[in-house]
Structure 1
Amino acid sequence: MTPVDGIHPDMFRDPTTGWRGADGRWRVALGAEISGNGTALLYKSEDFVRWERADSPLHSSSASGMWECPDFFPVPIEGREGLDTSVNSGRQACVEDELDEAAVRLLHAGNDIFVPDDAADDYRMWLRYDYGKFYASKTFFDAKKKRRILWGWLNESDTESDDIAKGWAGIQIIPRKVWLDSRGRQLVQWPIEEVESLRRNEVHLHGLELATGLHEIKGVKASQADVEVDFELPSLDTADPFDPTRAMDAPKLCSQDDASVRGGIGPFGLLVLASENLEEHTAVFFRVYRDRDTAKVLMCSDQRRQAIFDHVKDYRSSLRPELDKPVYGVFLDMDVEKERKISLRTLIDHSVIENFGGKGRACITARVYPELFLDTSSHLYLFNNGSSSVMISRFQSWNIAKAHLNIKLKDLVIEN
């Protein structure tokens, strides 16, 4: 497979896993940019050796530039099991990476031309695997357990000089199982079950009324933890009205209505990787709005400097001024009036915070580097800065054990 028809070699890379079509021919897609359009080119082969480019691309859009690390795989219409990449049934998910984003489009197939569910060319409206720091993702089919597993890459938020001092840059996220939601509108993600084997020393709460203020979670190693919590909403009557003109940019809304801005319902959530005096911590929170006859749930992850409570004048995820400290946000596709509770699972691992909101309907991953960070002094809090109380119907947290290497450290050789 070589770039032809004037495609620049730098804009031609990252082939997908091969799959077999209904005609028995192999297919592979790879990322490209043609005339400024992000494109997934399609190649076909009878023997997996000699390849010909299809007349039409697998998918293309004028809404983005070069697509890196494209992925293409089937997902079943019902259930949470994965499908072999060559299964020619169900729905097809096409993933393209651009600008540190992994945009997901659900497609209908027909003669190797795939039409997205959404016709929008506005990139902000495309679904994403993760609305935080996440890139270069790929999936594979686990035939033994019949599941589709996603690996994603986390780059750094510190400086290039820090990377040089460390000798490395970028890590993999916790692997996630991927399936199609029951309404067929989006992909759902959840940490693979093997992660639960690392859980130690459970702390649990239930029936806790969380009024305005902080509630520290004791007994958990807050620098390396697995946290699951259900926030139950007794009433939606006090939700703030929603301005529809703000629907297109959830991160901006999270920035404006941040954790310091008191609302009717929210902000409420977690303060993670917190220092002793809360001078450093990262806020992960929800806010509920009323939009005519429906309710909207905003999920945010904020690392910037701001004031939340009177006794905490300001905070940030790190005191180091040179670090990237973004704010992330997404609206959860859920019927909160029917469910009456919002779930959050958070995996904390020193500099990594992975958040799964609404039972995995949306994910936000953050990379933070607290300066005051010590294993013995990192803290975890539940918080509510809204005027209405929320109930903690379920809270469970565990210390996370360190992973075991399959080789002895004395046998590990690192070459410069």
Structure 2
Amino acid sequence: MSNGFLLFVGPMFYGGWYHFFYQYNPDAAVWGNIVWGHAVSKDLIEWLHLPLAMVADQWYDTNGVWTGSATLLSDGQVIMLYTGATNESVQVQNLAYPADLSDPLLVDWVKYPGNPVLVPPPGIDDRDFRDPTTAWYWPDGKWRIAIGSKVNKTGISLVYNTEDFKKYELIEGVLHAVPGTGMWECVDLYPVSLKEDNGLDTSFNGPGVKHVLKASLDDDKNDYYAIGTYSLESGNWTPDNSNLDVGIGLRYDYGKFYASKTFYDQNKQRRILWGWIGETDGESADIKKGWASVQSIPRTVVFDKKTGTNILQWPVAEIKSLRKSSKKFDKLEVGPGSVVTLEVEKATQMDITAEFEIDKEALKRIGESDVEYSCGTSGGSAQRGELGPFGLLLLADEGRCEQTPVYFYVAKGTDGQLKTFFCTDESRSSLANDVDKRIFGSTVPVIKGEKLSMRILVDHSIIESFAQGGRTCITSRVYPTKAIYGAAQLYVFNNATSASITASIQTWAMKSAYIRPYSSHQES
């Protein structure tokens, strides 16, 4: 929408359309008065806004129509469960369904007259019970859903059985719990194939399958995931590696990316992930511009068969439809301390792929180097080491007063093993003072024989970066004041002290997606 506050809710594919529902404040660019917006698309790129799907008009959701999930049943029914904040701010779960299943746009929605269908169980605080998942089918003929919560400081996911989505039975125990992680929001549980690159229906289980469990941690506003086993016997989920459990291990994204949700796209047999990109400037700036928050580019999710410990996230293939002119820069030699200008058509809207190779002689020559490096605490792109940083300077003005570097940094242990970091440095992204400018990143696994590679999508104030095929991802929300429109430039840089790099880069200028307002005669 062109005004108001936006926060992700839930997606699905129905009637030949991708449906995107989102929490929305139509009255202001701040949290409050939350209703459900609704948009549809044929290709996940160009969208048609529809009328509001649901508003806060009942006692059980008068303080907000919050996050929910859709479940498509085999008989064609569409079930929507969502959290409502009652007139006393108790978090309850409610049922809604389309008024007319023959309408592929699903414009009108009906709230079940028996709402709420779930209230906080004994031992759970009234305000710690939210965000029902998509349901999965159980071998006993019942459906199961999970809901995020906490007990003291232990994050948990409760599980319920249901046959008709109106009456529920709380399953003894929990799906999973991790001490010290606090409130779990927007819980997601889904299967990934260990052998195939296609996605799997949420109810799928069996040989050759692992399950990803994800939780958005309310305490630090980051999305954590882990890979493990979902047992049909116990109904519990167990991580493959307890050191990489939910909330203490891997993250979907190491930047500004939260409250994400996946759905199974039965149209193209893939699992798609969306995340909410919040603002990092002040609330007064949001009010002045009249809107706040955007959604990430949809990403496919598959199991990383090379590492066996990660998922791979990658922009949906449809994003290529926005590509325009392309330029290639093959095997650029970039010496230590160098910055090279890349002449491109449109540096504010770009799709970029880049591969980097470090000089092999330098790798052999250098001994132990930067083994204690950390993206967030080691000085950013200005901190020079023997093997990094090197990468791209994005949304940079001619004098590079403003710039957002996305880069690799390589550390070398005493055993000769390399450890690679993937980082984004926002510290000089804007001359504005009311902007939170951080240095994000983490390690990224690099398999023997792989070149260091990144893909970056730039859209004016959003940078989405993917390293090594999507093993590590970083989303940045930046607010350049000088590096805008035609004044923005692109550079490749190498701030290492001892090693040259070779860079091969391809860029595409990107056109804008077409977002249409709704009118009743535009349904075909």
TM-score after normalising by structure 1:
0.90
Confirm or deny: 8 A CA contact 1:39 1:57 kept in the other structure: yes
2:123 paired with 1:21: no
Confirm or deny: 8 A CA contact 1:241 1:290 kept in the other structure: yes
Structure 2 CA distance for aligned equivalents of residues 375 and 349 of structure 1: 10
2:275 paired with 1:163: no
Alignment of 1:226-245 (within 5 A): 226-235=351-360, 236-239=363-366, 241-242=368-369
Structure 1 CA distance for aligned equivalents of residues 291 and 469 of structure 2: 33
Confirm or deny: 8 A CA contact 2:130 2:148 kept in the other structure: yes
Structure 1 CA distance for aligned equivalents of residues 246 and 237 of structure 2: 18
Partner of 1:308: none
Partner of 2:147: 30
Alignment of 1:260-409 (within 5 A): 260-291=382-413, 292-304=415-427, 316-335=428-447, 337-339=448-450, 341-386=451-496, 387-392=498-503, 394-407=504-517
Q: Displacement of 1:268 after TM fit?
A: 0.4
Confirm or deny: 8 A CA contact 1:12 1:32 kept in the other structure: yes
Alignment of 1:5-84 (within 5 A): 5-84=122-201
Confirm or deny: 8 A CA contact 1:240 1:264 kept in the other structure: no
Alignment of 1:241-252 (within 5 A): 241-242=368-369, 246=372, 250-252=374-376
Q: Displacement of 1:382 after TM fit?
A: 0.5
Structure 2 CA distance for aligned equivalents of residues 27 and 408 of structure 1: 35
Q: Tell me which structure has the larger Cα radius of gyration.
A: 2
Partner of 2:349: 224
Partner of 1:310: none
2:213 paired with 1:86: no
Confirm or deny: 8 A CA contact 2:396 2:404 kept in the other structure: yes
Structure 2 CA distance for aligned equivalents of residues 163 and 115 of structure 1: 42
Q: Displacement of 1:49 after TM fit?
A: 2.2
Counterpart code for 1:361: R
Q: Displacement of 1:256 after TM fit?
A: 1.5
Partner of 1:177: 300
Counterpart code for 1:115: T
Confirm or deny: 8 A CA contact 2:422 2:467 kept in the other structure: yes
Could you report, residue by residue, the CA deviation over 1:101-149 in whole angstroms, capped at 9, with x for unpaired residues? Answer: 1100112122211111121388774111001110010001111211100
Q: Displacement of 1:294 after TM fit?
A: 1.6
Equivalent of 1:97 in 175, 200, 216: 216
Structure 2 CA distance for aligned equivalents of residues 17 and 113 of structure 1: 17
Counterpart code for 1:107: G
Could you report, residue by residue, the CA deviation over 1:284-330 in whole angstroms, capped at 9, with x for unpaired residues? Answer: 111111122421101111111xxxxxxxxxxx111112210011121
Q: Displacement of 1:241 after TM fit?
A: 2.3
Q: Displacement of 1:263 after TM fit?
A: 1.9
Confirm or deny: 8 A CA contact 1:332 1:362 kept in the other structure: yes
Structure 1 CA distance for aligned equivalents of residues 247 and 416 of structure 2: 24
TM-score after normalising by structure 2:
0.72
Q: Once structures 1 and 2 are overlaid, which stretch shifts more, 149-158 or 292-301?
A: 292-301
What SS does the aligned partner of 1:288 have? strand
Which one scores higher on RCO, CA 8 angstroms, separation ≥ 6?
1
Partner of 2:268: 145
What SS does the aligned partner of 2:242 have? coil
Deviant stretches of 4+, over 3 Å? 121-125, 406-409
Q: Once structures 1 and 2 are overlaid, which stretch shifts more, 114-123 or 185-194?
A: 114-123
Q: Displacement of 1:5 after TM fit?
A: 1.1
Q: Displacement of 1:195 after TM fit?
A: 0.2
Gaps of 5+ in 2: 1-117
CA RMSD of aligned residues (A): 2.1
Gaps of 5+ in 1: 305-315
Counterpart code for 1:221: K
2:188 paired with 1:188: no
Count of residue pairs the alignment pairs up:
393
Could you report, residue by residue, the CA deviation over 1:58-88 in whole angstroms, capped at 9, with x for unpaired residues? Answer: 1111130001111111111112210001112
Structure 2 CA distance for aligned equivalents of residues 239 and 258 of structure 1: 21
Q: Displacement of 1:358 after TM fit?
A: 1.1
Counterpart code for 2:249: W
Counterpart code for 2:295: Q
Could you report, residue by residue, the CA deviation over 1:242-268 in whole angstroms, capped at 9, with x for unpaired residues? Answer: 565x37xx333xx32532222222110
Counterpart code for 1:203: K
Structure 2 CA distance for aligned equivalents of residues 108 and 405 of structure 1: 40
What SS does the aligned partner of 1:338 have? coil
Structure 2 CA distance for aligned equivalents of residues 251 and 384 of structure 1: 16
What SS does the aligned partner of 1:91 have? strand
Cα–Cα, structure 1 residues 238 and 406, in superposed 2: closer, same or farther, change >3 Å?
farther
Confirm or deny: 8 A CA contact 2:339 2:492 kept in the other structure: yes
Confirm or deny: 8 A CA contact 1:102 1:135 kept in the other structure: yes
Structure 2 CA distance for aligned equivalents of residues 395 and 121 of structure 1: 33
